[in-house]
Chain A
Amino acid sequence: MVAPTTPAEIGGIGHSVQRKEDARLIEGQGNFLDDIDLPNTLHMAILRSPLAHARINGIDSEAATALDGVVAVVTGDLMDQHGLAWMPTLSGDTQAVLATDKVRYQGQEVAAVIATDPYIATDALELIEVDYEDLPPITTPQQSLEEGAALIRDEKEGQTDNLAYTWETGDKGATEEAFAQADRVVTLETHYPRSHPAPLETCGIVADVNSVTGQATIYMTSQAPHAHRTLFAMVAGLPEQNIRIVSPDIGGGFGNKVPIYPGYVVATAASLLIGQPVKWVESRTENLISTGFARDYYMKGELAVTDQGRILGLRVNMLSDQGAFYSDAQPTQFRAGLFHVVTGSYDFPAAHIDCKGAFTNKAPGGVAYRCSFRITEASYLIERLVQNAAYEVGIDPAEMRLRNFIQPEQFPYETATGFVYDSGDYPTALRQALDAAGYEELRAEQAAAREEGRLVGIGIAHFTEAVGAGPAHTYDIAGLKMIDSAELRVHPTGKAILKLGVKTQGQGHETTFAQIVAEETGIPATDIKVIHGDTDDTPYGLGTYASRSTPVGGAATAMVARKIADKARHIAAHLLEAAPEDIERTADKFHVAGSPDQAVSIQDAAFAAYTNLPEGMEYGLEDVTYYNPPNLTFPYGSYVVVVDVDPDTGVWKVRRMVALDDCGVRINPMIVEGQIHGGLTEGFAMSSMQWITFDDDGNCIGSNFMDYLIPTAWETPRFELLETVTPSPHHPIGAKGIGESATVGSPAAFVNAVVDALAHLGVRNIDMPVLPDRVWEAIDTATA
């Protein structure tokens, strides 16, 4: 751990300051979407398709409209009259708001009821009759791309098959050359299954459009309120100054609250037409079956290696299941997110990735569930491949990694797919994690256990992430550059308000961002109020996802705080009757160089900013900064998992989980550890139990928490955390971002551990989730 430079009462970087937001949330004084209760609010319920693929021949809403308390029944035809039956997605496709022609997945929005209370709205749904004509459902991307498969997107001009996109990167020729020189090629075909972020709070909206002024105040569960304001303006044609998005306390997002969902559009249109506020809060089932899912990639990876265990090249072929609409939330130029990071932590010259996506009769989404745009899939693939390559070459999986790591002196390092990694010391990280786990002893125990018929596995993952999108030259979403901002106002008494373009969903921004300001100005973190989520009251930004808050918004905060500190230094010079260049700043004082007694505090300078200024200086102590990051940041980590496998049932238990993370400078170590614990739990969930699957008719299996499993403290293993600190050289405070590291890195470690337990039997793959029946079958097949 790096020692803090400020005293505890200032609470700058490195202090485990208690989270400011906790008392409010724990004592029930939070303000979540469903807590918002405006006068005359109407309630919306959505009728969803029970079928995965069907033509709509007609909708009879007469009985529903006649029900006492029903104000309106909205159908696709009505939305179409206002040009709102379809909306653009974040990946340049279009998505049905309410179905007009066909339903394309189970759970798709077909109609909406607006009523005086939610019970009546739900009752009315049962009275709407939809005449469906069955069409053949397509439930896998392989089926979807077969010759003669039913055309899912028949409404789309020029679309003659079910191909959603193609994408290619790397150097094909160089990669072929590398494979020609290889002693062997290690291949892994694996499916990263569909999962869902499943935040504790589902999505919702209260749309309040004033029929006289046209002012639209939209309360919504948004991870990106500013981007949503602009998109609302562009989609609905409303003047942007009349749109105010307020994102209140959010009960978890994990990517699920990045997209704009049809329910938001319908509720806003209904409020506009009716002239009353309209509220819609999803049920758990609606959230799970219709909002942004994650993953669903079929991946084939091949690694060209020498007999000495050197990696020469990587080839990847992928097919993604996009569901009915291509609505991945990702930067425009990136068709499969930041999958480029698939070269991982390793130094090799050639890689080539070939990817396509297919439409299927499943819910759309493709959000990055606690992951920076497809990095989880990429990291999983390379870490599984490297582990398998070690078995094939016949060297230890840890040694395999050490032989191929990018070395500390190679940074900045340009990968074969064009990312420039900022900093790292991978060998030190891996060695520390292995030592903490007692790796040598574990391997000895494993060998002895195998003699007795017991199965012990040791899994390693050493991941590198690419987060903090991103530089304006390359990164935009729907044309909006991925910059972010911070505005700092210091009041005369020295207390401050920090306004952010990013928006917390539980990450602790109200605490950590205040700590950055405390570090840079000397104003105690407890004296700094952080405001975010209200677009009328905060500067522009692209929001919180892809671990970008600290890399981008945190950098903006440091930069604006430096501007304030610099102005305060000039004021201090005036108060001390010295030249500004002779003023030095300590943690909490400005003083004349060489004379620590001749000092004023930041509070003194703040008061003077409004009362006693040097000649020619403008009054006030406030500023705003927009930050365009020069590069992504590249956090990394080394994870070691030890499992015991029951050979009779395939049940596996985690005995140890050692997680070393290097996220650069840690602003609040306690919050960082909390983020890692949460991410490891989600990684454990995906590897052990969590998936959204479908039957052959396209029925979603996993529509509630009976079938979509979230581990509790009972199942979740104990985590042993370690750290190294390698600052990002280009970030103002050297921080890299930590929100998603553990979700990205841990699935491969868990799966590698189970595969490692069976590796001596020749087992090389078990797809996630690693359910006990899959383990038992792998043993059964290998020993048959």
Chain B
Amino acid sequence: MFPSRFDLVVAQTVAEAVEAKVDAGEGGRFLAGGQSLIPMMKMRVAFPETLIDINRIAGLDAIERVNGHLQVGALVRHADVVASDATFGAVAAAAPWVADPLVRNRGTMCGSVAHCDPEGDWNSVLLATGADVVAQGPGGERSIPIADFVDGAFTSTLGEDELVVGLRIPVPSGRSGGSYLKLERKIGDYATVAVASHLELDDSGAIAAAGLALTSVNPINTKVADAEALLVGQQPSDELFAEAAEVAAAAAEPRDDVRGTAAWKRQVVRTYTKRGLAAAAQQAEGS
């Protein structure tokens, strides 16, 4: 497996990286962890003319809580997320399910988000928690709500000259819980089906805010807004979660493939939504 010829630019600052991207144009690609890009290059399904390596840029490797948000820099590896004690709920639950230990050591959370693979885990977590993607281009920095960022399978609304520099995930102030239930064929596999759940409770124990998103069962990671609306204002119960699970199952439009039949995948969405919400509620009630 031998990739095509390419030029390599090693950027020392975000400004340098953005400048290099402006120079390279469409043929330029940023390289962070490279866990998707390099295999694609080896298989010659990607053949960038210029690779812009951002790994030497200082200050992009922090994962920390700032002003009520969990901020994740562009060079934070999945393994850093696993190890971090700044995470919460669905973020903490999903991190150990991303890929395998080797990929987690190298691959970055921001890179995975920017890749917009509908079978990727993180965008469901960001949809459930209502996160923003922070991008920097020649004109400066901007925040993009994740729902606006994901445009389609492998496409985002990121500008051609913009680099994802970080993520901002709101940290709930009250009682909250989250979960990420993933069915995969083996460790390191993409999700066959996964469900991200996020619940916040008010003082009465009723659901004050809810997030629910699905991986691998639609052309893009899918926020199930109808189910979220159904949950808010209600007391958590198995019956309520079963109702939400039916809405989630209806929102999934999986396909028959080697991973399994569409009917079965919808059944897994139903089961994992029920179990995922129950786990999130249990965590919230104990918080």
Interface residues, chain A, CB within 8 Å of chain B? Answer: 118-119, 122-123, 126, 283-285, 648-651, 689, 693, 701-702, 704, 706-707, 709-712, 714-715, 771-773, 776-777
Distance in angstroms from B235 CB to nearest chain A CB is: 24
Contact A649:B267 (CB < 8 A) given known A119-B5, A712-B100, A777-B261: yes
Q: How far apart sit A710 and B1, CA to CA, in the bound complex (Å)?
A: 20
16 contacts between A and B (CB under 8 A): A119-B5, A122-B2, A126-B44, A648-B271, A651-B183, A689-B186, A709-B186, A710-B186, A712-B186, A714-B187, A715-B187, A771-B185, A772-B264, A776-B264, A777-B261, A777-B264
- Inter-chain CA distance A339–B251, complex, in Å, is 49
Residues of A with C-beta under 8 A to B258: 693, 701-702, 707
| Complex interface: chain A residues within 8 A of B2 (CB) | 118-119, 122
- Note all chain B residues with C-beta closer than 8 A to A119: 2, 5
Q: Which residues of the other chain, A, contact B189 by a CB distance below 8 angstroms?
A: 706, 709
Q: Kindly state the separation between the CA atoms of A707 and B263 in the bound complex, as whole angstroms.
A: 21
Q: Does B188 contact A (CB under 8 A)?
A: yes
The interface residues of chain B, by DSSP majority, are classed as loop
**Which residue of chain A is the closest to B193 with respect to CB atoms?**
A649
Set of chain B residues within 8 Å of A773, measured between Cβ atoms: 259-261, 264-265
The smallest beta-carbon distance between B157 and chain A, in angstroms, is 27
Contact yes or no, B186 A283, CB < 8 A: no
Measured between beta carbons, the chain A residues less than 8 angstroms from B44 are 122, 126
Q: In the complex, what residues of B have CB within 8 A of residue A118's CB?
A: 2
B187 engages A650 (CB within 8 Å): no
In the complex, B72 has a CB within 8 A of chain A? no
Whether the Cβ atoms of B100 and A649 lie closer than 8 Å is no
- Which chain B residues border A706 with CB–CB below 8 Å? 189-190
The answer to whether B264 touches A650, judged by C-beta atoms less than 8 angstroms apart, is yes
The digit string for B258-287, where 1 denotes a CB below 8 A from any CB of A, is 111101110110011000000000000000
CA of A777 to CA of B268 in the docked complex: distance in angstroms?
A: 12
Give Cα distance in the complex from A686 to B219, angstroms: 30
In the complex the two chains form, is B260's CB within 8 Å of A771's CB?
yes
Point out the residues of chain A lying under 8 angstroms from B43, CB to CB. Answer: 285, 704
Contact of A711 among B186, B261, B268 (CB under 8 A): B186
Give me 6 other A-B pairs in contact (C-beta within 8 A), A704-B43, A772-B260 excluded.
Answer: A118-B2, A283-B1, A649-B183, A650-B264, A772-B264, A773-B259
Contact for B186 among A650, A701, A715, CB less than 8 A:
A715
Min Cβ gap A650→B in Å is 7
Whether B188 pairs with A712 at a CB distance below 8 angstroms is yes
A-B pairs, top 4 by smallest CB distance, nearest first, are A773-B260, A773-B264, A714-B187, A648-B271
**Which residue on A lies nearest to B274, using beta carbons?**
A648
Nearest A residue (CB) for B4: A123
Tell me, rounded to whole Å, the shortest Cβ–Cβ distance linking A717 to chain B. Answer: 13
Residues of A within 8 Å of B100, CB to CB, are: 712
Task: Tell me which residues across on chain A come within 8 A of B260, comparing CB atoms.
Answer: 771-773
Q: With both chains docked as a complex, state the minimum distance between the C-beta of B261 and any C-beta of chain A, in angstroms.
A: 5
Residues of B within 8 A of A (CB): 1-2, 4-5, 43-44, 100, 183, 185-190, 258-261, 263-265, 267-268, 271-272
- A648 with B267, Cβ < 8 A, contacts A709-B189, A711-B186 known: yes
Contacts of A701 in B (CB 8 A): 258
Closest to B256 in A: A773
Separation of A772 and B261 alpha carbons in the complex (Å): 10
Give the interface SS of chain A, mostly helix, strand, loop or mixed. loop
Q: Contacts A649-B267, A772-B183, A773-B264 given: A284-B1 contact, CB under 8 Å?
A: yes
Q: Which listed residue (B5, B185, B263) contacts A709, Cβ 8 A? A: B185
**List of A residues within 8 angstroms of B268 by Cβ:** 649
Q: What residues of chain B lie closer than 8 Å to A702, measured between beta carbons? A: 258
Contacts of A710 in B (CB 8 A): 186
Residues in chain A near residue B190, CB distance under 8 A: 706
State in angstroms the CA–CA spacing of A266 and B201 once bound together.
69
Please give, as numbers and ranges, the residues of chain B lying within 8 Å of A704 by CB-CB distance: 43
B185 touches A689 (CB 8 A): yes
Nearest CB of chain B from residue A193's CB, rounded to whole Å: 11
Cα of A658 to Cα of B193 in the assembled complex, Å? 32
CB distance from B88 to the nearest CB of A (A): 25
In whole Å, how far is A290's beta carbon from the nearest beta carbon of chain B? 15
In the complex, residue of chain A having the shortest beta-carbon distance to the beta carbon of B1: A283
Tell me whether B267 and A714 are in contact (CB under 8 A). Answer: no
Contacts of A714 in B (CB 8 A): 186-187
Shortest C-beta distance, B43 to chain A (Å), equals 8
Identify the interface centre among B183, B186, B272: most chain A CB within 10 Å of its CB: B186
The interface residues of chain A lying within 8 Å CB-to-CB of B186 are: 689, 709-712, 714-715
Which residues of B are found within 8 Å of A648, using beta-carbon distances? 267, 271
The chain B residue with its CB closest to the CB of A646 is B271
Q: Which residues of A contact B265 (CB under 8 A)?
A: 773
Residues of B close to A709: CB separation below 8 A: 185-186, 189
A126 to chain B, nearest CB (A): 8
Q: What B residues does A126 contact at CB under 8 A?
A: 44
* Identity of the chain B residue whose Cβ is nearest the Cβ of A703 in the assembled complex: B43
> Which residue of chain B has its CB nearest to the CB of A693?
B258
Which residue on B lies nearest to A117, using beta carbons?
Answer: B2
Please, which residues of chain B bring their CB within 8 A of the CB of A123? 4-5
From A118, A122, A649, A689, residue with most partner B Cβ within 10 Å: A649
CB contacts (< 8 Å) of A284 on chain B: these are: 1
Q: How far is the CA of A773 from the CA of B271 in the complex (A)?
A: 13
Contact A649 B1 (CB under 8 A): no
Q: How far is the CA of A69 from the CA of B272 in the complex (A)?
A: 56
Interface core residue of B5, B190, B265, B267 (most chain A CB under 10 Å): B267
**How far is it, in angstroms, between the C-alpha of A122 and the C-alpha of B183 when the chains are bound?**
37
Closest to B190 in A: A706
Identity of the chain B residue whose Cβ is nearest the Cβ of A711 in the assembled complex: B186
Tell me the smallest distance from the CB of A128 to a CB of chain B, in Å.
Answer: 14
- Assembled-state Cα–Cα distance A285/B264 (Å): 30
Q: How far is the CA of A771 from the CA of B268 in the complex (A)?
A: 13
Does A649 contact B185, Cβ atoms closer than 8 Å?
Answer: no
Docked pose: A123 CA to B5 CA in angstroms: 9
Q: Is the CB of A712 within 8 A of B264?
A: no
* A776-B185 Cα distance, complex, nearest whole Å: 15
Bound complex: CA A300 to CA B69 (Å): 62
Whole-angstrom CA separation of A550 from B244 in the bound complex: 61
Kindly state the separation between the CA atoms of A8 and B107 in the bound complex, as whole angstroms: 49
Q: Which A residues touch B263, using CB under 8 A? A: 777
Instruction: Give A649 to B193 CA distance when docked, in angstroms.
Output: 11
Query: How near does chain A come to B116, taking the closest CB pair, in angstroms?
Result: 18
Residue in A126, A650, A709, A772 whose Cβ sees the most chain B Cβ within 10 Å: A772
Q: A651 to B182, alpha carbons, bound, how many Å?
A: 12
**Minimum distance in angstroms from A63 CB to a CB of chain B:** 16
Please indicate the chain B residues that have their CB under 8 angstroms from the CB of A707 in the complex.
Answer: 258
Report the bound CA distance from A65 to B116 in whole Å. 40
Min CB gap A70→B, angstroms: 14
Least CB distance, B39 to chain A, in whole angstroms: 9
CA distance A265 to B142 in the complex (A): 59
A694 to B268, CA, bound (A): 25
Query: Are B187 and A712 in contact (CB-based, < 8 A)?
Result: yes
Name the A residues within 8 Å of B188 (CB-CB).
712
CB distance from A115 to the nearest CB of B (A): 11
A649-B261 contact given A689-B185, A689-B186, A709-B189, CB 8 Å threshold = no
Give the docked Cα–Cα distance between A709 and B189 (Å): 9
Residues of chain A with a CB closer than 8 A to B272's CB: 649
Give the CA-CA distance A119 to B42 in the complex, in Å: 11
Q: Measured between C-beta atoms, what is the minimum distance from B269 to chain A in Å? A: 10
Instruction: Give the distance in Å from the alpha carbon of A119 to the alpha carbon of B190 in the complex.
Output: 30
Q: Which residue of A lies closest to B275 (CB)?
A: A648
Please measure, in the bound complex, the distance between the C-alpha atom of A2 and the C-alpha atom of B272, giving whole angstroms: 51
B86 → chain A, closest Cβ, in Å? Answer: 27
CB contacts (< 8 Å) of B183 on chain A: these are 649, 651, 772
- Using CB atoms, name the residue of chain B closest to A43: B2
| A772 vs B5: C-alpha distance when bound (angstroms) | 43
Min CB–CB distance A435 → chain B (angstroms): 33
For B258, the closest partner residue in chain A by CB is A701
Write the chain A residue with the least CB distance to B260: A773
In the complex, A346 Cα to B189 Cα: how many Å? 41
* Shortest Cβ distance from A286 into B: residue: B1
